[in-house]
Structure 1
Amino acid sequence: MKKPVYLSLLFVSCLLVASCEQNEEKQQWFKGNLHTHTYWSDGDAFPEMVLQWYKSNDYDFLSLTDHNTLQQGEKWKKIPKSHIYEKAFNDYLQAYGEDWVEYTSDSSGTRVKLKTEDEYLPLFLDEEFLIIRGEEITDSYDGKPLHMNATNVQEKIEPRHGNSVSDVLQNNINAVLEQREATGVPIMPHINHPNFGWAVSVEDMKALRGERFFEVFNGHPSVHNYGDSARMSTEQMWDQINMAYIERGQPLMYGIATDDSHYYHQFGPQFSNSGRGWVMVNADQLDAATLIEAMEAGQFYASTGVTLSSYEVENGVIDIDIASEEGVTYRSEIIGVKKGKSNSEVIAIHNGNEIEFKVPDDVLFVRVKIVSSRLKENPFEEGDFETAWTQPVIPN
């Protein structure tokens, strides 16, 4: 893993398409999660243990995104008086030793000094795992939770508040983009779980400027990814947002998947656990600047388990090879919005491991949703199948 490298670079301008020319010989897929919590806010594990879990489970990069905080300064954590958490502390102590773990114990319990990023980063210095500094900017309006992540943030960003839901979100987007402009460093905002607390409507999302990413899938049990009988799913919101963005000539909104992990010792659909959602980014090297550049060019897909061997968009043709597994089948829906229509629809269905689809001229955009026949292990919701979502593509 490398320490986060914060470099200024000229971004590739690929605003309304899902691919740019690349050096395919050097490109590779990197797996990462951009929404993760630790004891520094409301997660229930030490940052070193969280990082080790992701590294041990074949992730290439991770962003720790605690609420309105960076892993800097001094913070002590009182270990809950519970067998689960006392055992977790003992496991931490055994893994890292008395020389590393600073703690006090008395009749009131155990307090542990949390390690800062400057302390834990050197433990993960190799070429195969990248830690990207992150923050979940946590705000609200009229009691509604309004959360946004900043990936590759350089300094802590304080919530800016506002006079409406969209105003709060826009003010916080602006804060991220202003830091990016001031530092010359690629810093990526993304809107978190819009249906959490039913806080963010599709009209709020449509109103945003400068936002390129939102969570089409979040693994927390309270975020209502699928909507309900009266409110849109995040997928439905995604298509409506992009209809509005195309109408006003704004770059497309891309969809990411995260697990929003908080719980590392209790498991099940009622807990927000690791391994539920991630992004696969096609890039030529593992550093924060390159990954963000690739994502802004649409060179990634979101997944809860489906893996692609290849994904290309060239001359208006989407070409996908699914990394198939024995006994598993795949159903792929080409979802799009036809010109003059007000809703998205399934334009075509492909069964099998290969997809080749020419984007027709009569659509605003299309995207691909691939659903496996294999049930997701420890799912967001019982009965979920492993799924992948590619990014929207407009006709040539």
Structure 2
Amino acid sequence: MQRFSKLLAGIAAVLATLSCLAVAHEPVVLAADKELSWYRGNMHTHSHWSDGDDYLESIALWYRDHGYQFLVFTDHNVLANTERWVKVRNTKGGQTAYRKLKEKFPDWVEQRGEGAELEVRMRQFTEVASRLDEPGKFLLIQGEEISDKTAEGGHPIHMNVHNSHELIPPQGGRTAFEVIENNVRAAMAQREATGKPMIIHLNHPNFHFAVTAEDLLRVRDEKFFEVYNGHPGVNNHGDHHHHPSTERIWDIVLAQRIGALGMPIMYGLAVDDGHDYHHIPNRKSNPGRGWVEVLARELTPELLIESLEAGRFYASSGVSLKQITTSPNGMKVEVDPRPGETYTIEFIGTRNTTDLTGKPIKNEKGEHLHVTHTYSKGIGEVLKKVESTSAEYTFTGDEYYVRAVITSSALHPNPSEIDDHQQAWVQPVLGPGAPEDHHAHD
């Protein structure tokens, strides 16, 4: 009888495994329906609480009025949860921001003093959220930009924490890798202690060219970085010397993590990094340049984070998508087109036959430079290119991963870099050439 029970248990386990495999191999369709909606959000925002030029409530109103469903405030090394008064003349937004605040919220502004001594009480996050949140329509989320630097070289390392509950001071570290890893650990420790979902992402890796692909690819619990940042000074495209673009960094990280290190996929975000909210457009760091579209059941921090961590989103600087379908056979992308625009869809990946060896770059003295190594052109290869509003890529059997980039014929109306076109970035998925242990956890 005992043997028979063990046999039944074994059969049940096999059936359960087969059932899981069947579910895992069914197509995954990312599209709005009766239960799911696309929610547009910006995950990098600055205000008068640090170095932005406007008040929290005015910034939140701008995003709500421009079709966003969520916004994360991420001021430098501060949470908007304390009593703070500021002199209007000393704020970055000055009289312009104050005048607009009074116009938009005439019954809301608390002030004292007159003339050069005029002060305004900065509203705290909870106050602004209570005033502007609309269930199911608009959601404000508390965050923080941990602004840190390396002990060696003083390279700036900035990371955004989302759904913060307590301030995380910069954790420091000798190298960029150590600083990133230490701050990720601090965020994950808070998440575990509170039992509430939180995520952390690396900001603008090419800001002062502080972060190399080799720094980023080894951080196990870091799953997000900014492939597009709307600040004009962050060098999304790299330069003509030794610094690759953020997209090139992404492909190197993906190829190494999947093909050599057995680590999870890294996802790419698009953000504003907004600091300047007046006289738009201009060549400063304006709102409205980059965002994420997250597919979720409801507009809550918990469900947004759940979808982000599962890769159920795409990043955009202007292109909208109707549907993304992935399956064991490949990937299909369908654009939501605008009249007069044409679209180029590129499927990008790395094959498991590609040499993943990186070669350090040295100066004239033979010293290693703090720049991303050079790698084979097979890393981040364009596997297929289509001029259409929809396209499909079929796996050939040797791809570590595949992602997609869609580029519109239309220029960005307020670009962070001159001649930028509007784009969308589809998140990478594992290909059949990835090691089996990756598929077991996918």
Match of 1:118 among 123, 126, 137: 126
2:74 corresponding residue in structure 1: 65
- Which residue identity is paired with 1:102? E
Match of 1:177 among 160, 170, 188: 188
Conserved? CA contact 1:30–1:60, under 8 Å: yes
Which structure's relative contact order is higher, taking Cα pairs within 8 Å and 6+ residues apart?
1
Find the residue that maps to 2:158 and give its secondary structure. Answer: strand
Distance 2:31 2:412 in 1: 33
2:19 corresponding residue in structure 1: none
Change (3 A) 1:131 1:338: same
Residue pairs, 1:45-56, within 5 angstroms:
45-56=54-65
Residue pairs, 1:77-116, within 5 angstroms:
77-80=86-89, 85-97=94-106, 99-116=107-124
Structure 1 residue 355: Cα displacement: 1.4
Distance 1:195 1:109 in 2: 40
Report the TM-score when normalising by structure 2. 0.82
Identity %: 39
Structure 1 residue 23: Cα displacement: 10
Structure 1 residue 266: Cα displacement: 3.7
Distance 1:159 1:199 in 2: 16
Conserved? CA contact 2:30–2:325, under 8 Å: no
1:365 corresponding residue in structure 2: 401
Distance 1:83 1:216 in 2: 28
Distance 1:260 1:392 in 2: 23
- Which residue identity is paired with 1:192? N
Report the TM-score when normalising by structure 1. 0.91
The alignment of Structure 1 onto Structure 2 pairs a total of residues equal to 381
Distance 1:217 1:23 in 2: 24
- Which residue identity is paired with 1:218? N
Distance 2:158 2:304 in 1: 22
Match of 1:147 among 137, 158, 167: 158
Q: Does 1:387 align with 2:399?
A: no
Distance 1:18 1:139 in 2: 41
Distance 1:18 1:32 in 2: 26
Q: Does 1:240 align with 2:252?
A: yes
- Which residue identity is paired with 1:194? P
Find the residue that maps to 2:429 and give its secondary structure. Answer: coil
Listed as ranges, the gaps of 5+ residues in structure 2 are: 1-22, 355-377, 433-442
Structure 1 residue 90: Cα displacement: 1.5
- Which residue identity is paired with 1:224? N
- Which residue identity is paired with 2:148? D
Deviation by residue 1:340-377 (Cα, 9 ceiling, x = unmatched): 21522111101111112223311111110000011111
Match of 2:40 among 10, 31, 39: 31
Change (3 A) 1:82 1:174: closer
Structure 1 residue 76: Cα displacement: 2.1
Find the residue that maps to 1:392 and give its secondary structure. Answer: strand
Structure 1 residue 270: Cα displacement: 2.8
Change (3 A) 1:252 1:269: farther
Change (3 A) 1:327 1:248: same
Find the residue that maps to 2:419 and give its secondary structure. Answer: coil
Residue pairs, 1:231-310, within 5 angstroms:
231-246=243-258, 247-268=260-281, 270-310=283-323
1:201 corresponding residue in structure 2: 212
Find the residue that maps to 1:373 and give its secondary structure. Answer: strand
Deviation by residue 1:278-336 (Cα, 9 ceiling, x = unmatched): 00011111111111111111111000000001112123331221101111100011111
- Which residue identity is paired with 1:167? E
Distance 1:251 1:20 in 2: 21
Structure 1 residue 21: Cα displacement: 9.6
Change (3 A) 1:82 1:294: closer
Change (3 A) 1:123 1:355: same
Distance 1:364 1:237 in 2: 16
152-161 or 233-242, which moves further after superposition?
A: 152-161
Structure 1 residue 102: Cα displacement: 1.7
Structure 1 residue 62: Cα displacement: 0.5
Conserved? CA contact 1:55–1:129, under 8 Å: yes
Distance 1:66 1:244 in 2: 32
Structure 1 residue 394: Cα displacement: 1.4
Deviation by residue 1:216-254 (Cα, 9 ceiling, x = unmatched): 000001100000112110000000011111122111000
Which entry has the higher C-alpha Rg, 1 or 2?
A: 2
Distance 1:180 1:101 in 2: 34
1:324 corresponding residue in structure 2: 337
Structure 1 residue 209: Cα displacement: 1.6
- Which residue identity is paired with 1:252? I
Change (3 A) 1:267 1:109: farther
